[in-house]
């Protein structure tokens, strides 16, 4: 048989060239080859630089923004292939650390089984007309350039409170744990000032991203019509300036690839303890003052002093716990700078006023022996009660202003105020009983005078709070997968054991034990003073533990709005 003929090297080279020519190269490879061709040794350098400048200059506005205009990203959805070259360029040029990203690429899908549609979406900071990050920042670490409209983060001013992370509906500010501050996209403003495109714009091989001039009035009109991007957070809240355009008619059922995925959020333990301790402090102080007015004969001087001192100490401990949440705690004093627009700054001022007034009222009450001195103490205590309640309301507004459905004011406001009662009432009763023991009085006397009333107040507040928290489970019957249903699914699913603990502790400490004490005191054989005291202490411990678990669920079960993401893995 004749020997097989071997192809000549020239034939192999021709075959490979033919196959490579037929192979469809990605946009990134074609882009790299184009760049390589421009910088080849035989290419004139001036010609290459001119061609590069012309290509990238076309991606920038020719003039600075005029009155009523600002810079904004324009994204051509038809050209975006999801290659993430923009993400890599942003990461490299801005020197971001591993795992840190200022630009993301998400995925939308929809259509039908026969005609499915997949759409990649690149997103960064939208440099909104009314940026929520700027509004919420307590230290004024954000500024919006009056000419370009770029929303810039001032790293040196930041204290790392992360409130802007909660405020932004697009998940733009990113917390850097090692630096203790938040960082975000600034549209590569220094490159823009030098008439160079941002890193993401320059790196996109399909020219899917460019910088354009947007009319602020048109942005507001577009947001009013909710024409921003399918399945994106509501644009009317911040008026984002990014323009997403397409020549295709996207299906009405376009949803993010991770739409049906909900995972527990960060626990924020310092905030959990801060809220519990401050609300226990305010509740104990206010209820203690009301008990003194309601039944002055049942209040010993020792009990009044002990109750006020304990409430003040808990409040100060709660404020100290909040500092542990900061990335740069040594700059915590700056938190009052944004009091004109930030609820976090107002909360700090309200609780500072509460601590100051409560401390003065307590000191004056201890030192004063005349009727005039006692009068001043009463006025100071009344002002402390008002500022404390104001602080609780500011705490509720901090979370309600984030726009997250689970944190709406109609839920958060009553929840925080009822927590003051659930935590404060058993603490006041325990202190009164302790003071009765030290004063040689029978605990039964205290229970008869104020104990039954406080137990009934506790049971009513506890039942109302548990009923309000259980309303979320009605969302499980909904046919749509809205954020409240996702929260309910988390509460009965991955966070189910914690939810069970919360209701068991709440029913035991805030409802069952107080009602049993009231029924026992009305019976023919009331419980002994020691048994009643132990029952009150047990109720206090159960209430505190139950409220701590409830506040942990408050943070972990919330569903955060954000731009479309990748499929959950």
Angle at 546 between CA 543 and CA 550, to 5 degrees: 135
Q: Is 546 helix (H, G, I), strand (E, B) or coil?
A: helix
The rounded distance, in Å, linking the Cα atoms of 544 and 549 is 9
**Per-residue model confidence (pLDDT) at position 48:** 47
**Per-residue model confidence (pLDDT) at position 280:** 97
**Per-residue model confidence (pLDDT) at position 1:** 45
**Per-residue model confidence (pLDDT) at position 104:** 94
End-to-end CA distance of the chain: 58
The rounded distance, in Å, linking the Cα atoms of 173 and 93 is 18
The rounded distance, in Å, linking the Cα atoms of 338 and 348 is 10
The rounded distance, in Å, linking the Cα atoms of 508 and 496 is 18
**Per-residue model confidence (pLDDT) at position 40:** 54
Containing 75, the helix (H) or strand (E) segment is strand 69-76
Between strands 69-76 and 181-183, the pairing is: unpaired
Distances (CA, A) of 120 to 248, 553, 565: 14, 33, 9
Q: How many helices (H) and strands (E) does the chain have?
A: 20, 10
How many C-beta atoms lie closer than 10 Å to residue 364's C-beta? 18
**Per-residue model confidence (pLDDT) at position 162:** 95
What one-character-per-residue DSSP string does 276-297 give?
Answer: HHHHHHHHHHHHHHHHHHH-GG
Q: What is the DSSP letter of 331?
A: G
The gap from C-alpha 401 to its chain's centroid, in whole angstroms, comes to 10
Q: Can you read off the two tokens belonging to residue 326?
A: 């900061």
Q: What is the DSSP letter of 156?
A: T
Q: Is 72 helix (H, G, I), strand (E, B) or coil?
A: strand
Cβ-Cβ contacts under 8 Å for 122 (sequence gap 6 or more): 75, 80, 82, 86, 87, 103, 104, 105, 106, 200, 204, 208, 209
Length of the chain, please? 569
Nearest to residue 395, comparing CAs of 271, 506, 483? 271
**Per-residue model confidence (pLDDT) at position 169:** 94
The rounded distance, in Å, linking the Cα atoms of 47 and 27 is 23
Residues of the chain with pLDDT under 50: 1, 3, 42, 48, 569
| pLDDT tens readout for residues 170-208 | 999 999 999 999 999 999 999 998 888 999 999 999 999
How many C-beta atoms lie closer than 10 Å to residue 255's C-beta? 16
Domains of the chain, earliest start first:
69-95+102-256 (3.30.70.20), 277-556 (1.20.1630)
Contacts 24+ apart (CB under 8 A), 34-37: none
Residues 158, 194 contacting (CB under 8 angstroms)? no
Distances (CA, A) of 300 to 306, 421, 436: 10, 22, 8
> Hey, which residues does 243 pair with through a beta bridge?
74
**Per-residue model confidence (pLDDT) at position 302:** 62
**Per-residue model confidence (pLDDT) at position 195:** 87
| pLDDT tens readout for residues 498-551 | 999 999 999 999 999 999 988 887 777 777 778 888 999 999 999 999 999 999
**Per-residue model confidence (pLDDT) at position 569:** 46
The rounded distance, in Å, linking the Cα atoms of 161 and 416 is 21
């Amino acid at each position: 048989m004749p020997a097989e003929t071997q192809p000549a090297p020239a034939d192999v080279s021709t075959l490979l060239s033919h196959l490579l020519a037929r192979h469809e190269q990605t946009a990134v490879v074609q882009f790299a080859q184009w760049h390589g061709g421009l910088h080849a040794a035989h290419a004139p350098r001036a010609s290459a630089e001119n061609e590069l400048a012309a290509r990238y200059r076309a991606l920038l506005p020719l003039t600075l923004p005029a009155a009523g205009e600002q810079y904004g990203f324009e994204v051509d959805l038809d050209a975006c292939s999801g290659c993430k070259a923009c993400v890599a360029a942003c990461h490299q040029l801005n020197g971001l650390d591993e795992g840190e990203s200022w630009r993301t690429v998400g995925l939308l899908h929809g259509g039908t089984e026969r005609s499915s549609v997949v759409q990649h979406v690149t997103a960064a900071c939208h440099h909104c007309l009314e940026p929520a990050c700027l509004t919420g920042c307590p230290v004024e670490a954000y500024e919006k350039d009056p000419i370009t409209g770029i929303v810039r983060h001032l790293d040196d001013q930041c204290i790392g409170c992360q409130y802007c992370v909660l405020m932004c509906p697009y998940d733009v500010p990113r917390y850097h744990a090692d630096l203790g501050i938040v960082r975000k996209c600034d549209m590569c403003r220094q490159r823009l000032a030098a008439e160079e495109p941002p890193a993401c714009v320059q790196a996109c091989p399909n020219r899917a991203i460019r910088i354009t001039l947007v009319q602020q009035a048109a942005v507001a009109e577009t947001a009013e019509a909710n024409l921003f991007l399918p399945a994106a957070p509501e644009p009317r809240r911040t008026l984002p300036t990014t323009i997403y355009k397409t020549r295709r008619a996207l299906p009405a059922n376009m949803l993010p690839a991770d739409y049906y995925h909900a995972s527990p959020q960060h626990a924020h333990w310092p905030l959990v303890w801060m809220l519990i301790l401050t609300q226990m402090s305010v509740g104990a102080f206010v209820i203690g003052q009301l008990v003194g007015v309601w039944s002055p004969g049942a209040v010993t001087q020792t009990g009044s002093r002990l109750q006020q001192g304990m409430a003040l100490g808990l409040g100060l401990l709660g404020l100290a716990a909040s500092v542990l949440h900061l990335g740069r705690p040594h700059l915590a004093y700056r938190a009052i700078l944004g009091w004109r627009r930030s609820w976090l700054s107002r909360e700090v001022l309200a609780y500072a006023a509460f601590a100051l007034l409560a401390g003065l009222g307590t000191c004056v009450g201890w030192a004063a022996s005349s009727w005039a001195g006692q009068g001043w103490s009463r006025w100071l205590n009344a002002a402390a009660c008002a500022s404390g309640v104001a602080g609780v309301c500011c705490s509720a507004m901090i979370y309600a202003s984030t726009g997250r459905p689970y944190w709406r004011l109609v839920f958060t406001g009553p929840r925080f105020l009822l927590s003051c009662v659930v935590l404060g009432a058993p603490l006041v009763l325990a202190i009164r009983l302790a003071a009765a023991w030290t004063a040689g009085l029978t605990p039964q006397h205290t229970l008869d005078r104020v104990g039954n009333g406080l137990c009934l107040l506790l049971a009513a507040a506890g039942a109302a709070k548990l009923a309000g928290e259980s309303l979320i489970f009605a969302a499980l019957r909904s046919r749509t997968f809205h954020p409240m249903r996702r929260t309910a699914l988390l509460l009965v699913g991955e966070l189910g054991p914690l939810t069970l603990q919360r209701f068991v502790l709440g029913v035991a400490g805030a409802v069952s034990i107080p009602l049993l004490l009231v029924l026992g005191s009305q019976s023919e054989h009331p419980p002994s003073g020691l048994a009643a005291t132990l029952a009150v202490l047990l109720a206090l411990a159960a209430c505190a533990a139950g409220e701590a678990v409830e506040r942990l669920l408050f943070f972990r079960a919330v569903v955060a709005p954000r731009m479309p993401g990748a499929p959950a893995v």
